[in-house]
């Protein structure tokens, strides 16, 4: 049933109810599941099971702006595969998504984007966009989402600056996070609360739009705080298939995007992230609260873990995902001595991160890391390549689109996926390799990788 609910969310439904009676063409019909958009029922589902572990689903589209369309589909409980069919004038054709619902969701998310842009405009009227502004906007989004979902004592029809602040304090009091108590809200920001209802959107979609708005707004000034949204989505999709994931880590978590994406696909896992920057740690915590995730974020340099462990962290992880800083020379000679680097006179950050992450992985655990292409091709990096192949097997290399990090950087990068060896004699298997030219092609490559069957 959870897979069916997830599919309804993917095709546009922002709320799903069980055993609900709705009116269809003047008749009251009770459906096993009803999907809603903007509080209005748009999809009714009846579920029956046959002897082949297949759930048969009948779907009726009821969007007022569209002609009545019937959709039918099947869900195989063994393979967890969907097939959707559209019945048009007696002909059945297979479809990937219900197009009317998908179009509606995309239009609504454009509305969210404009709302975010206006909130940012109000906060930056007399200042530039930086970490502190991002924190304050996230606080506003957090309060707005919780208010719209009816989870706070403050009432929407009686909003004041004071009860917005009280609402925020109410949230963080039960969060378990050490966050600043204050929230900066002006009368103009408060007025924007009445212009949109965020309860009708999936929280993952709300933050995906937020990530893109921030990426576009910061441009070349963003520095190392953001991972492009197409890459975030890709990592979440890839590791949704990994089994037995109990612990996930990112030693260069930034805004926590990669961790929250994986947590959304692996909800049973415990998640830890580290940042040297306190403001980035606060951003990551606020994003986790919006997503209703209990991720743990610690302040400090993860590269110090080779010489001093932290009690709050496990000693091993099943999955590590990271987009660390790279091409940055490490000047701390004493720190470099803790690492198995052949050329200790010219160590770069990415070399130490690879060493650290492979040490922290459980046997058979996975590392997905974004690396500059020089690590894979330069003669000077031969030692780190030998270290990688000694400690792990190479599972996949995806050369990322040239423009994916622009305008932040034009450095060519690749997504490298490694599996830590369970025995030293473990042989190198076939490697999945691809070179997508743009973000759309990256989506297709990720789908191919998931279907490939050789990753896990």
Q: Classify residue 115: in a domain, yes or no.
A: yes
Sign of CA dihedral 345, 349, 354, 359: positive
Q: Classify residue 259: in a domain, yes or no.
A: yes
Q: Specify the pLDDT at position 49.
A: 58
Residues 335 and 443 in one domain: yes
Residues 299 and 365 in one domain: yes
- Token pair, residue 424, equals 């030293």
Q: Classify residue 213: in a domain, yes or no.
A: no
Distance (Å) of CA 257 to CA 211, 233, 243, 286, 321: 8, 9, 21, 11, 10
Residues 71 and 131 in one domain: no
Q: Classify residue 336: in a domain, yes or no.
A: yes
CA-nearest of 31, 32, 14, 13 to 22 is 31
| Residues 207 and 287 sit within 8 Å (Cβ to Cβ) | yes
Residues 365 and 350 in one domain: yes
| Residues 375 and 394 sit within 8 Å (Cβ to Cβ) | no
CA-nearest of 287, 203, 151, 293 to 14 is 203
Residues 6+ apart with CB under 8 A from 27: none
Q: Given 61, 96, 131, which residue is the final one in a domain?
A: 96
In terms of residues, how long is the chain?
A: 456
Q: Classify residue 208: in a domain, yes or no.
A: no
Q: HEC string of 329-350?
A: ECCCHHHHCCCCCCCCCCCEHH
Residues 151 and 89 in one domain: no
E strands present in 38-166: 40-49, 54-61, 69-76, 81-88, 91-95
Residues 350 and 269 in one domain: yes
CATH of residue 272's domain is 3.40.50.150
Into how many domains does the chain fold?
3
Q: How far apart are CA 83 and CA 102, in angstroms?
A: 16
Residues 192 and 230 in one domain: no
Residues 326 and 434 in one domain: yes
Residues 287 and 143 in one domain: no
- Token pair, residue 129, equals 């966009």
Q: How far apart are CA 114 and CA 91, in angstroms?
A: 40
Q: How far apart are CA 34 and CA 47, in angstroms?
A: 11
Q: Specify the pLDDT at position 88.
A: 47
Q: Given 48, 69, 96, which residue is the final one in a domain?
A: 96
Q: Given 96, 125, 141, which residue is the final one in a domain?
A: 96
The sheet that has 432-434: what strands, in order across it? 296-299, 270-275, 247-250, 317-322, 361-372, 413-420, 392-399, 432-434
Residues 6+ apart with CB under 8 A from 405: 228, 411, 413
Residues 239 and 344 in one domain: yes
Q: Classify residue 314: in a domain, yes or no.
A: yes
Residues 250 and 327 in one domain: yes
Predicted TM-score (pTM) of the model is 0.79
CA-nearest of 331, 387, 393, 337 to 365 is 393
Q: Specify the pLDDT at position 256.
A: 96
CA-nearest of 295, 14, 42, 284 to 148 is 14
DSSP one-letter string for 280-310: HHHHHHHHHHHTT---EEEES-GGGGGTS--
Residues 6+ apart with CB under 8 A from 106: none
Q: Is the backbone of residue 436 left (phi > 0), alpha (psi -120 to 50) or beta?
A: beta
Name the residue range of residue 65's domain.
2-96
Q: Classify residue 211: in a domain, yes or no.
A: no
- Token pair, residue 98, equals 């219900």
List the chain pLDDT tens, one digit each, 456 residues.
666 677 677 667 778 888 888 765 566 777 777 777 777 777 777 666 555 555 555 544 443 333 444 555 555 555 555 555 554 444 444 444 444 445 555 667 899 999 999 999 999 988 888 899 999 999 999 999 998 888 776 555 567 888 888 889 989 998 989 998 889 899 999 999 989 989 878 899 999 999 999 988 887 665 556 899 999 999 999 999 899 999 999 999 999 999 999 999 999 999 999 999 999 999 999 999 999 999 999 999 999 998 888 999 999 999 999 999 887 888 888 899 899 876 777 788 999 999 999 999 999 999 999 999 999 998 888 989 999 999 999 999 999 999 898 877 778 999 999 999 999 889 999 999 999 999 999 999 999 999 998 999
Radius of gyration of the chain (CA): 24
Residues 197 and 328 in one domain: no
CA-nearest of 11, 50, 3, 450 to 239 is 450
Q: Classify residue 206: in a domain, yes or no.
A: no
The residues with which 1 forms a beta bridge, in sequence order, are none
By CB atoms closer than 10 A (0-12, 13-18, 19+), residue 118 is middle
The residues with which 81 forms a beta bridge, in sequence order, are 76
Q: Specify the pLDDT at position 163.
A: 85
């Amino acid at each position: 049933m959870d897979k069916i609910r997830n599919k309804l969310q993917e095709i546009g439904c922002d709320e799903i109810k069980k055993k609900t009676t709705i009116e269809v063409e003047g008749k009251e019909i009770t459906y096993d599941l009803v999907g809603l958009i903007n509080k209005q029922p748009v999809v009714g589902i009846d579920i029956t099971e046959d002897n082949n572990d297949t759930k048969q689903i009948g779907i009726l589209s009821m969007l007022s702006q569209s002609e009545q369309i019937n959709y039918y589909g099947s869900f195989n409980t063994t393979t967890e595969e969907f097939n959707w069919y559209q019945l048009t004038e007696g002909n059945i054709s297979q479809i990937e998504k219900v197009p009317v619902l998908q179009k509606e969701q995309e239009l609504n998310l454009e509305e969210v984007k404009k709302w975010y842009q206006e909130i940012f405009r109000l906060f930056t009227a007399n200042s530039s966009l930086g970490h502190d502004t991002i924190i304050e906007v996230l606080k506003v989004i957090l309060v707005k989402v919780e208010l719209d979902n009816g989870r706070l004592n403050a009432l929407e029809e009686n909003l004041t600056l004071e009860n917005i602040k009280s609402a925020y304090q109410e949230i963080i009091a039960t969060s378990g996070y050490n966050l600043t108590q204050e929230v900066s809200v002006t009368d103009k920001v408060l007025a924007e609360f009445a212009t949109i209802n965020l309860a009708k959107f999936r929280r993952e979609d709300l933050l995906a739009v937020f990530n893109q708005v921030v990426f576009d707004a910061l441009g070349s000034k963003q520095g190392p705080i953001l991972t492009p949204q197409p890459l975030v989505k890709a990592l979440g999709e890839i590791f949704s298939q990994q089994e037995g994931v109990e612990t996930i880590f990112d030693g260069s978590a930034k805004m926590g995007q990669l961790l929250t994406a994986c947590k959304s696909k692996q909800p049973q896992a415990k998640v830890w992230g580290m940042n040297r920057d306190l403001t980035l740690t606060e951003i990551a915590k606020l994003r986790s609260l919006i997503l209703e995730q209990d991720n743990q974020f610690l302040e400090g340099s993860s590269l110090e873990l080779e010489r001093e462990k932290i009690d709050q962290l496990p000693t091993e992880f099943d999955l590590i995902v990271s987009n660390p800083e790279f091409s940055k020379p490490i000047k701390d000679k004493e720190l470099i001595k803790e690492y198995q680097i052949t050329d200790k006179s010219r160590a770069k950050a990415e070399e130490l991160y690879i060493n650290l992450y492979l040490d922290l992985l459980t046997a058979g655990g996975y590392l997905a890391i974004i690396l500059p292409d020089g690590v894979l091709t330069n003669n000077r990096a031969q030692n780190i390549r030998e270290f990688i192949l000694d400690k792990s097997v190479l599972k996949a290399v995806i050369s990322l689109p040239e423009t994916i990090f622009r305008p932040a950087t034009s450095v060519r990068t690749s997504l490298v996926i490694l599996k830590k060896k369970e025995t030293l004699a473990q042989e190198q298997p076939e490697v999945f390799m691809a070179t997508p030219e743009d973000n759309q092609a990256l989506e297709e490559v990720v789908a191919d990788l998931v279907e490939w069957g050789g990753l896990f």
